[in-house]
Amino acid sequence: MTVSSTSDIEITLWHTWALTVTHKACEYTERKFNAEKTGGDPVIPSPNLDTDLVMACDQLVDHLIKAYKNPIQMQIDVARYSKVISPKDTGHNEEREEKLLERCPPGHEGTKLVEIPATILDASGAIIAWYILDTLTDATQKEIWAASDLLAPILEKSVKLDGNWRTNQEWFKPSSENDVPTPRCINLSPAWFQQGHENQSDPEVSASLKAASSEKTLKVIVRPAAIATAALRVMHPEQYWAGL
């Protein structure tokens, strides 16, 4: 299957790839979102999508539309703010943060409780955040919990007393009997950049993804991953196409 992005770059996806199903789900989600936004004709899903995935996409679109039709505008210029900050701004320098806040105030006073889907707009009308609560179907949530259970053994071994900035035990709260899964940090990447390994020129599968349960985990998260990617297709299409 050959697909094209908004930049007219053609990408070939084999029909046997799981990515192909994800792409079809994303395509269906985007088309259905645009149709409901503009009052267009009903969109028929691909026969390659299973019923649960179609239902999950439909629920996602329903919440995306509700959010799109409930904009909350703030008097903050994100483009200007992005030019003021730098990669060196870590957020931990209180004096620096106060100066940034003074130069780029949030544009509102107090707090506002949002209990329904909404989009947050900056002063120019650009969407800077989507708030889509209760978007996942029960079936999708169960799959996420199932994947979390499979990851529990790897998570428990991931942190150390002398761990690095990602896996240091100080950054995680102590586990309790109600914690599912254990609060920890792992990296599941099919193309992990081997920083610090000069003899490794190409990305490799991350260590956590090489674990014995990784194949089962990947199979369980296929649908949740497709839903998250479908949301990205609508919210940030440029990033979606860059990810392919």
* Distance separating alpha carbons of residues 5 and 96, to the nearest angstrom: 40
Q: What is the pLDDT of residues 34-80, one digit of tens each?
A: 999 999 999 999 998 999 999 999 999 999 999 999 999 988 888 88
Alpha-carbon distance 230 to 237, whole Å?
Answer: 10
pLDDT above 90 coverage of the chain, percent: 36
What phi-psi label fits residue 139: left (phi over 0), alpha (psi between -120 and 50 degrees) or beta? Answer: alpha
DSSP secondary structure string for all residues of 187-224: ---SSB--TT-TT--S-B--GGGGSTTHHHHHHHTHHH
pLDDT value of position 131 = 96
> 190 near 209, Cβ under 8 Å?
yes
Gap between the Cα atoms of 102 and 18, Å rounded: 48
> What is the overall mean pLDDT for the chain?
83
**Whole-number pLDDT of residue 34:** 97
- Could you report the per-residue pLDDT of 145-172, keeping only the tens digit for each? 888 888 888 887 777 777 666 777 777 7
What pLDDT does 115 receive?
93
Please report the pLDDT score of residue 152 as a whole number. Answer: 80
Nearest-5° angle of CA 52, CA 239, CA 73?
90
Answer for the pair 130, 63: CB distance below 8 angstroms, yes or no: no
Q: Which of the given ranges, 20-34, 86-100, 101-115, has the highest pLDDT on average?
A: 20-34
Judge residue 22's burial from the number of C-beta atoms within 10 Å of its C-beta, 0-12 exposed, 13-18 middle, 19 or more buried.
buried
So what's the pLDDT on residue 202? 72
- Give the residue extent of every domain in the chain: 2-72+223-243, 148-221
Tokens 């936004």 found at: 37
